[in-house]
Structure 1
Amino acid sequence: MFNQYFIFLFLYNFGLVTCVPFFNPTNGGGSMLTNTQNGLGEPLNVIISGESSPDILTDHGSLNYFQAIGFSTECLGIHLGMPHTANLGDGNGWINQTTELREDYDDPIEGTCLESAVGGSHFRMFRQNGPTANSGALFLAVGQEESAAQGHNIVPDGYNKGRDSLVANAVGTLTYNGVTYITTMSRLTDLLAPGNQGIIHGIAQDGVVALLTVKIT
């Protein structure tokens, strides 16, 4: 993987490769864990491939896709808590999350208010677009959380459950707002170490990262 990273980087920077799925953040000095400002983080357990249709990798295009698979913007646009940062090894260093989306319970306007109350899946998104590894890939830290009454903590096995729920909604063919998406998935096992080392709440995860490639037809 180390040699592949630099081969891809050389070809990409000289215009000989137009896109790659992603660059391994750790090869560029980054991490597959976010940072919650206390030295712990959440696993970046889903990647939207840089080989997806270009519109999927934009802010507007990705939001439409995420709404198609059951996630939308936070309730009334209000975000509680500190944003996480991530270093995707692309030369940007540690940067704040691009956005945070929540399960919308089939209502992209008000459904995330229900998620905030009763719990469900959510994710933080980061874009790999720095000067040294510009894949355009979207890295997601997905988890399933408890209700507001329980402090919005991650449920037991919540990182695996959140990832698997998102993937189940995404894989296959979907149409939303007149756009048809075909999503395929590969399981990657060489990016994250399984276990709970460095992970907030001490919740173990299985080390699997889901790589989603999304094509617009």
Structure 2
Amino acid sequence: MHSVALHACVALAKPLQRDAVAYVNPSVNGGSMLDNAGEGNGGEPMNVIVSGLSSPDVLTDDGIVNFARAIGFSTECFGLHGGGAQSANLGDGNGAVNQTLELREDYDDAGVGTCLESLIGGNHFRVFRQNGALANTGALFLAVSQEEDLAHHHTISEDGYNVGRDKLVAAAVGDTSFGDVSYSTTAANVTGLLPTGADGINHGIALDGIVTVLTVEIV
């Protein structure tokens, strides 16, 4: 009896097997492609997905930071963050979970360049990971937007969600590298995940409804 019970406990403790798919649409299991911007402000679109079929090392916290640095983003200025974290329900069974990371345009200086972004504005994105029991893809959902400068309280720029996505994708596609790690990235646009228009969107900024899925391979 003790042997059987021990075997059952070991089996239950085994990590979940990752689903071999690019991502699962959060709405299938009650989630949303809009995060929660807080204070009744509506949501911000998760308009880029780093596919769960990417190289596994890319999908870790350290891995997405290194990839971000390869495409012109880095961690926040001296690790400081103004404003509250946003949350998202990716329909993976974890419910609403706060962002894992927030990364900002680094203006070609991975060390302190994000301090400049904090002053003059630029592109930035929040990272959410789909890894619950209902959709354990490992995919990273990115809420990308172009924002204004400090004087304008970092509000989202006009058409900032579409513009931010397109700028990030343009920087990512093709061959990039950082810290002796080289990447090859392809992109595919998907419709039907996000709404179009401004209804329910933070700052009332309209969306074109496109999500770009990036497959990032370490080469």
TM-score (norm 1): 0.91
Q: Which residue of the other structure, out of 165, 184, 187, is the alignment partner of 2:186? A: 184
Which position in structure 2 is the counterpart of 1:147? 149
Alignment-mate amino acid for residue 120 of structure 1 = G
Larger mean CA deviation between 69-78 and 31-40 belongs to 31-40
Offset, 1:18: 5.2
Offset, 1:176: 1.5
Which position in structure 2 is the counterpart of 1:135? 137
Structure-2 separation of matches of 1:62 and 1:133: 20
Q: What does residue range 14-163 of structure 1 map to in structure 2 within 5 Å?
A: 19-39=20-40, 40-163=42-165
Structure-1 separation of matches of 2:176 and 2:77: 24
* Contact map agreement 2:172 2:185 (CA 8 A) in 1: yes
Tell me the secondary structure at the aligned position of residue 167 of structure 1. helix
Structure-1 separation of matches of 2:30 and 2:94: 11
Which position in structure 1 is the counterpart of 2:204? 202
TM-score (norm 2): 0.90
Which position in structure 2 is the counterpart of 1:5? none
Alignment-mate amino acid for residue 27 of structure 1 = V
**What's the % identity of the aligned pairs?**
60
Alignment-mate amino acid for residue 133 of structure 1 = A
Tell me the secondary structure at the aligned position of residue 162 of structure 1. helix
1:129-187 C-alpha deviation (Å, 9 max, x unpaired): 01111000000000000000111110100000000000000000112211110000000
Which position in structure 1 is the counterpart of 2:5? none
Q: After TM superposition, which residue ranges in structure 1, 4 or more long, deviate above 2 angstroms? A: none
* Contact map agreement 2:19 2:135 (CA 8 A) in 1: no
Structure-2 separation of matches of 1:51 and 1:197: 32
Runs of 5+ consecutive residues of structure 1 not aligned to the other structure = 1-13
Offset, 1:38: 2.6
Runs of 5+ consecutive residues of structure 2 not aligned to the other structure = 1-15
Larger mean CA deviation between 170-179 and 140-149 belongs to 170-179
Structure-2 separation of matches of 1:75 and 1:111: 8
Structure-1 separation of matches of 2:19 and 2:154: 41
1:95-124 C-alpha deviation (Å, 9 max, x unpaired): 100010000001111000000000000011
1:6-33 C-alpha deviation (Å, 9 max, x unpaired): xxxxxxxx96x85110000000100000
Which position in structure 2 is the counterpart of 1:6? none
Structure-2 separation of matches of 1:177 and 1:82: 30
Larger radius of gyration: 2
Which position in structure 2 is the counterpart of 1:8? none
Structure-1 separation of matches of 2:212 and 2:131: 20
